[in-house]
Amino acid sequence: MLEVPMLDVRGLEARYGPVQVLFGIDLSVAEGELVALIGANGAGKTTLLRTLSGLVRATGGSVAFDGETITAASPERRVRRGITQVPEGRQVFTTISVESNLRLGAYVRGRDEAARDLARVYDLFPALAERRTSLAGELSGGQQQMLAIGRALMARPRLLLLDEPSMGLAPRIAAEILDIVLKLRDSGTTVLLVEQNAAAALEIADRAYVIENGRIAMQGTGAALLDDRQVMSAYLGLD
Amino acid sequence: MLSQAVQFLFSGLTLGAIYALVALGFTLIFNASHVINFAQGEFVMIGGMTTVFLVGFGLPMPMAIALAVAAATGIGMALEKLAVEPARQASITTLIIITIGASIFLRGLAQLVWDKKLHALPPFTGDAPIGILGATILPQSLWAMGVGVLLLLALRWFFARTLLGQAMLATANNRMAAQLVGINVRRILLLSFALSAALGAAAGILIAPITLTAYDVGTNIGLKGFAAVMLGGLGSSAGAVLGGLLLGIAEAFGAGYVSSAYKDAFAFVIIMLVLLWMPRGLLGGAAAERV
Ligand SMILES: Nc1ncnc2c1ncn2[C@@H]1O[C@H](COP(=O)(O)OP(=O)(O)OP(=O)(O)O)[C@@H](O)[C@H]1O
Ligand SMILES: [Mg+2]
């Protein structure tokens, strides 16, 4: 690669107490790309995203964003720099209204800019506009996922980390969410997407990584991995 | 008959306003950290005692009050920075024990800095009782209730209308998600100790002219505040206020109709009965973590 990738991860290691989970992850995401990350349950996908957003401290290796090392930066600083994670299981603020959830998404940016972006998010998710005064905990699963994504967009991320956004949703809603992800990529947001539904993820991804027991096992374009027999059998349940 | 009941109600509401402020202090810190801060009563003591001594030095009352609230706030923040923050990785039980240690330390320090005597703070605006509905009320009681209500309204506004207040609610609701939107949750914890200490100090200053103050008043009033929290439902701000008021009223009526010797017991019996039927407190559960 000639230019510096937006996100450059080298030899990343992470652990929970004595248990090491990530063993030297190398991964990069170029500006404007939609990169998918697939792998079995417990492979370390969530841990990798949490290490990128700063919730989990790296115990080895480095993370660079726009060419600057941020391996030890706090989550707050990473949000300010443009990395926002949509966590697994949505994690909306259940006891707070939909609109306040969205405003909190712009916490690092200040009120005036938030007001402008609210309209943009409601445009993208009309269902949220209808329920702006409801408590987030009263929304359906699909709406909560939209809210979680909308809240992340309120931070105006340059790199969006999405952790299984279609988990537990009806197929039609899941497809809708993945459509939105594509739309976001097309409008210039760089995306790193973790997906349980590997086939769907590979179909929309520019490139993809397969993670196995905390190590990158394979990588390639979405199309190439879709064609790969090994990937097919291991992650798509097909032979 | 009626005038007697009104009389008890006045003293109950006065006490209740104080308990509510202390209970809110517990709630703020609990929501930010799940720690029950057993040094909460000491903020009450520091507020009252500091004001007494500054007034004794000849400072005008408003200035003494402002400085006392500032001192308590500073001590609250120091408690978080020096004792709670360094032990952040420890279990909640450890953190609670740390706050018990801090309360013993602060009590001992107060005894050293000041003394072991009871002190009276002069009432803010005289002590001529005002007659209402055949009962009488001290001007200081009106101060306690009035300022209590004002502080409650201010808190409501803070949580409902300011981004920082919303960030505190968000952190209470989901600490991880709060971090992911860029909220510095450690600063929120520091803020919760500062606010709790200020509320406690305000309570201590408001009540000092009525019940006297001393280095060890924090123990009893802290326990009452905690009882109010349990009665209202741990984590609920509305519950803290409700629990405080009910506790104050129960205590006043118990003391008036039964015997003042049993007023504490009377209040605690009510709490136990409520908790027997509603283990999560009156407004616990669904209302938890809401303002
Ligand atoms: N908070 C934690 N403390 C200890 N171990 C953890 C913790 N979170 C995850 N793990 C362990 O780390 C490993 C990787 O977990 P991780 O959640 O990153 O996997 P994943 O690929 O996201 O899985 P899934 O597809 O189920 O979401 C697992 O073995 C898991 O048990
Ligand atoms: Mg996961």
**Structure confidence by residue, pLDDT tens digits, B167-197:** 999 999 999 999 999 999 999 999 999 999 9
Token pair of A207 as six digits: 């490139």
Chain B residue set in contact with A, beta carbons under 8 Å? 163, 166-167, 169-170, 173-174, 176-184, 289-290
Mean pLDDT of B100-126: 92
Q: Which residue range is the domain that position A147 belongs to?
A: 95-156
Tell me what pLDDT residue A237 has: 57
Token pair of B220 as six digits: 């009893």
Tell me what pLDDT residue B291 has: 41
Per residue in A169-185, pLDDT tens? Answer: 999 999 999 999 999 99
Per residue in B15-42, pLDDT tens? Answer: 999 999 999 999 999 988 888 999 999 9
Tell me if ipTM is over 0.90.
yes
Measured from the CB, is residue A42 less than 6 Å from ligand 1?
yes
Measured from the CB, is residue A50 less than 6 Å from ligand 1?
no
Domains belonging to chain B, first-starting first, are 2-277 (1.10.3470)
Per residue in A95-124, pLDDT tens? Answer: 999 999 999 999 999 777 788 899 999 999
Q: Is residue A121 part of a domain?
A: yes
Q: Say whether pLDDT at B288 is over 80.
A: no
Tell me what pLDDT residue B287 has: 41
Which residue has better confidence, B71 or B276? B71
Q: List own/partner pairs for B126-130 with CB under 8 A and 24 or more apart.
A: B127/B209
Mean pLDDT of chain B: 90
pTM of the model: 0.89
Which residue has better confidence, B254 or A192? A192
Q: Is residue A111 part of a domain?
A: yes
Per residue in A25-63, pLDDT tens? Answer: 999 999 999 999 999 899 999 999 999 999 999 999 999
A-interface mutation test, from B180, B186, B290, most A Cβ less than 10 A away: B180
Tell me what pLDDT residue B286 has: 47
Q: Is residue A213 part of a domain?
A: no
Closest ligand 1 atom, residue A88 Cα: 27
Count up the domains in chain A and report the number: 1
- Distance in Å, CA A49 to ligand 2 centroid: 9
Tell me what pLDDT residue A235 has: 67
From chain B, the residues in CB contact with A57 under 8 A are: none
**What pLDDT band is residue A236 in, cutting at 50, 70 and 90?**
low
Q: Is residue A134 part of a domain?
A: yes
Angle B166-B169-B172 (CA atoms, 0-180°, nearest 5)? Answer: 150
Contact A76 B184 (CB under 8 A): yes
Q: Is residue A19 part of a domain?
A: no
Rounded CA-CA distance A163/A56 in Å is: 15
Tell me how crowded residue B252 is: count the other CB atoms within 10 A of its CB. 24
Q: Say whether pLDDT at B140 is over 70.
A: yes
Q: Say whether pLDDT at A145 is over 90.
A: yes
| Residue A214, CA distances (Å) to A14, A19, A185, B114, B285 in order | 9, 11, 27, 60, 39
Q: Which of A218-232, B111-125, B253-267, B275-289 has the lowest mean pLDDT?
A: B275-289
Per-position DSSP letters for A66-127, written without gaps between them? TTEE-TT--HHHHHHHTEEEE-TT----TTSBHHHHHHHHTTTT-HHHHHHHHHHHHHH-HH
What is the chain B residue with the closest CA to A100? B166
Rounded CA-CA distance B169/B159 in Å is: 7
Measured by CA distance, the residue closest to atom 4 of ligand 1 is: A16
Tell me what pLDDT residue B4 has: 85
Tell me what pLDDT residue A196 has: 83
Amino acid identity of residue B156, one-letter, is: R
**What pLDDT band is residue B290 in, cutting at 50, 70 and 90?**
very low
- Distance in Å, CA A48 to ligand 1 centroid: 10
Q: Is residue A81 part of a domain?
A: no
Q: Which of B58-72, B94-108, B255-269 has the lowest mean pLDDT?
A: B255-269
Q: Is residue A14 part of a domain?
A: no
Mean pLDDT of B206-229: 91
Chain A residue set in contact with B, beta carbons under 8 Å? 53-55, 74-76, 79-80, 84-85, 87, 91-96, 100, 103-105, 107-108, 111, 151-152, 155
User: Residue A235: which of A201, A205, A207, A206 has the closest Cα?
Assistant: A201
> What secondary structure letter does DSSP report for B119?
B
Tell me what pLDDT residue B188 has: 94
Strand order in the sheet with A83-86: A83-86, A159-163, A190-194, A34-38, A207-212, A215-221
**What pLDDT band is residue B289 in, cutting at 50, 70 and 90?**
very low
Percent of chain A with pLDDT over 90: 82
**What pLDDT band is residue A2 in, cutting at 50, 70 and 90?**
low
Tell me what pLDDT residue B285 has: 64
Rounded CA-CA distance A168/A175 in Å is: 12
Tell me what pLDDT residue A93 has: 97
Q: Is residue A113 part of a domain?
A: yes
Per residue in B79-109, pLDDT tens? Answer: 999 998 888 888 888 989 999 999 999 999 9
